[in-house]
Structure 1
Amino acid sequence: MTNRERFLSALTFRPIDRIPLVEWNIRGSTMREWVKQGYPEGVPPAIFFDLDPYNVGVPIHLGMHPEFEERIMEDTGVYKIWRDKQGAVRKDFSKDMNPGFVTRTWLSFPVQSRDDFLKMKERYDSKDPERIPQNFKERAKILNLGVTTTHLSVPFLFWTARDWIGFENLCMMFYDDPSLVHEIFAFLTDFCIDVLRDRIRQVDIDVVELKEDMAYKHAPMISPHMFRTFMFPHYRRFIEFLKGNGVKLVYVDCDGYPGGLIPEFLEAGVDAISPVEIAAGNDVIQLREEYPRLGMLGGIDKRELAKDRKAIYQEVISKVPVMLEKGGYIPHVDHGIPHDVPLVNYLYYRELLTNLALGKSVREP
């Protein structure tokens, strides 16, 4: 099978010759520690760990354009107050001590009223020529001939509105100004469809990722009822548009514990979720029992990789064989690999997955 065929078949419950060997992107602070431990600096992880190509991005820009100009308002050497590219004013440490893992402090956001929203809409012009590269037709033809999954990432409803408004402010807006929330979500869906309308048939898009991140530990950030009221109609409309134009699979990128949102996702046409964070309360085997046709990517507890070989073996062997038998599953670490995971531990984890993929026996350490 090609990587493309294998990836899609794995998530759509069809037979595969072996599991896809993929991984979440390695964060900067983790790679920094691994280099100290002997990782060959400059060698891409996909080569060093012998990973399958995860996907190839479809060159369509669905985010803010133009972005705000970054501006530092104050810098004490310990922290800085600055405006980021999304227009939010933040207070962060002056130095990024752990690249890829950052705790942000927000002070204000660019959308606080309907007038602000109308101004923000100017940065989401679906006719903006810079959303599509000039050689798009040529690139689309090459992607269509490729053997790696094509992937379109969409910053969708909750994700984008939170960036504009702020999490707490958005939560209050659902109650204080529901008509504005409805208007924002309808606009974002229309915008995405308008950008894609004349291009989506030119390129074979295998997978669309709806970026949302709308769940905490043990619970989602929005109730199933509120999702049904504010988001479900737009999910269904957008997914029907995507699949009606050849998209083969849609998954939601949602950290944390989506819980009661999963039935809503499935009814709206979502096929899978990622990264199924275990620390948040997810259990891939239990989710498979509850939702037999839910595709899942991830689900390997990153905390276990920081322990010893026995813990890593138990984490992998207790999940992967069972899930592969049931189908609809691609294992990888459940989000960014922390920098306290030793390189030798990660190499052992990759050895286990590779041996399972190739049908080789694995022994408990």
Structure 2
Amino acid sequence: MPVDLGSTGNTGITAGAYGRLLKHLGIEAEVTVWDRMQQLAVPDERVLQALHIDTRGVWLGTPDNRPNRDLEGDSYVDEWGVVRARPEGGLYYDVVKSPLSGEITESDLRAFDWPDGADPGRFRGIAERARMLRNETPYAVVFHAAAGFLTRSQYLRGFEDWFTDLVADPDLLGQIMDHTLEVQLETTAIGLREVGQYIDVMMFGDDIGVQYGPMVSPEMYRRLLKPRQKKLFELAHSLTSAKLLYHTCGSVVELIDDLIEIGVDVLNPVQVSAAGMDTAVLKARFGDRLSFWGAIDTQTVMPRGTPEDVRAEARRRISDLAPGGGYVLDTVHNIQADVPAENIVALYDEAVTFGRYPLKR
């Protein structure tokens, strides 16, 4: 049974947890952050081998023309004009200014300086890395494609205005998402032409779930979001034979049939603490049409449990999801800063010992 750590920006490890893991493993290495907003560390190859990780990632680079620009204090503005800041004592960078919030019109959207999806900095070196991983290593190659058009539209508009627009001005919101989608389509097309022949998995992500259900009603999802996702996924499938891994946090059981219909092959992170996301039920209901990636609880078990609690969690999810194949073990989203190194090691050790086919009963 395969296991993952660090192949994407949604299956990684935060810098604080990674630093303690290095110390626990006795590995001397720099802690290099590659995702500033989430504070994700670049896993050293020695760490990946020590934990028996079966995946290796390929990530898009920083745009040449509009890289992140530091502002006063611990804050910065990204290429979209979104300002993020880390509060004193905080771990992550929160959105503090959305450039399209408030009263706006179609003319404001036309005048907005949208990012260049074809900026060469995004693609520099990705083909070389993907080719090397394909030809020189035994690992599954995972391409983390461009950030989702839905999430980008929320950052641009601001969450309060975004949710208000769903009802008050869905046409305006649709236009914003069309703009963010066009950037993502361009980046995806170029990226997959660079790496499509070398990769096994391509990852796309947009959260459409929250703790207790879908982020929007199923009807709104099918009217506003699903057609745009379908356009993106059809493009991706036309450019590579790689499987499409889709990341959405939250309770999405009501939307899984829709996701399968538009081309999702694998669901991540399988947020088991959310309503209706019981792994045994999900496997029984969708396992003949969908694979699962994640499912190890990061809300309670990983940060607060003992190593034996973590091992029991691993055995439960493997027993539920791995029979017949179709499961990649990983944590639900990134390993957070409060997760003890002992629990990380326990997770991957149990995956290796318990997750061998034929599975133990």
* CA distance 1:103–1:277, change in 2 (3 Å): farther
Other-structure match for 1:296: 292
Matched ranges for 1:193-342 at <5 A: 193-197=185-189, 200-203=192-195, 204=197, 205-281=199-275, 282-292=277-287, 293-302=289-298, 303-305=300-302, 306-342=304-340
CA offset at residue 325 of structure 1?
0.9
Match among 12, 26, 31 for residue 25 of structure 1: 12
1:108 has 2:106 as partner: no
Matched-pair contact (CA < 8 Å) for 1:111–1:165:
yes
Change (3 A) 1:138 1:361: closer
Choose the corresponding residue for 1:125, options 96, 99, 116: 116
Q: What is the TM-score with the length of structure 1 in the denominator?
A: 0.77
Q: CA deviation at 1:109?
A: 0.8
Question: Offset at 1:198?
Answer: 5.8
Q: Does the residue aligned with 1:330 lie in a helix, a strand or coil?
A: strand
- In the alignment, is the contact (CA less than 8 A) between 2:51 and 2:345 conserved in 1? no
- Which residue of the partner structure matches residue 158 of structure 2? 166
Q: Is the 8 A contact 1:218 1:257 kept in 2?
A: yes
Is the 8 Å Cα contact of residues 251 and 273 (structure 1) preserved in structure 2? yes
Identity over the aligned pairs, expressed in percent? 20
Change (3 A) 1:95 1:188: same
5+ residue gaps, structure 2: 6-10, 31-42
Q: Is 1:57 aligned with 2:58?
A: yes
Distance 2:340 2:188 in 1: 43
Q: Aligned partners of 1:33, 1:232: CA distance in 2, in Å?
A: 41
CA distance in 2, matches of 1:57, 1:31: 19
Counterpart of 1:57 in 2: which secondary structure?
strand
Report matched runs for 1:34-53 at 5 Å: 34=21, 39-42=26-29, 44=43, 46-48=45-47, 49-53=50-54
Q: What SS does structure 2 have at the residue aligned with 1:298?
A: strand
List per-residue Cα deviations over 1:201-243 (Å, max 9, x = no partner). Answer: 4531432222212322122222211111112112222212221
In the other structure, the counterpart of 2:135 is: 145
Residue 177 in 1 paired to residue 169 in 2? yes
The 8 Å contact of residues 272 and 294 in structure 1, kept in 2 or not, is answered as yes
In structure 2, what residue type is equivalent to 1:145? N
Alignment partner, residue 84 of structure 1: 77
Q: CA deviation at 1:348?
A: 2.4
Amino acid at match of 2:279: V
Determine the C-alpha separation between the residues in 2 that align with 1:335 and 1:136: 24
1:10 counterpart residue number? none
Check 1:152–1:264 CA distance in 2 against 1; reply closer, same or farther (3 A cut): same
8 Å CA contact retained: 2:61, 2:121: no
Q: Distance in 2 between matches of 1:87 and 1:235?
A: 24
Could you tell me how far 1:183 is from its partner in structure 2? 2.0
Shift of 1:177: 2.0
Q: CA deviation at 1:170?
A: 0.8
Cα drift, residue 254 of structure 1: 1.2
- Gaps of at least 5 residues in structure 1 are 1-18
TM-score by length of 2: 0.78
* 1:300 to 1:335, Cα distance in 2 relative to 1, 3 A: same
Give the whole-Å Cα distance in 2 for the aligned partners of 1:266 and 1:257.
16
Q: 1:64 to 1:163 in 2, by over 3 A?
A: farther
- Quote the RMSD (CA, aligned, Å): 3.3
SS at structure 2 position matched to 1:171: helix
Q: Is the 8 A contact 2:145 2:191 kept in 1?
A: no
Instruction: Tell me if structure 2 keeps the 8 A contact 1:46–1:52.
Output: no
Q: Distance in 1 between matches of 2:307 and 2:121?
A: 49
CA distance in 2: counterparts of 1:137 and 1:33, whole angstroms: 32
Structure 1 residue 307, shift from structure 2 partner: 2.0
Q: Which amino acid aligns with 1:132?
A: F
CA separation of 1:64/1:110 partners in 2, compared to 1, >3 Å: closer, same or farther?
Answer: farther
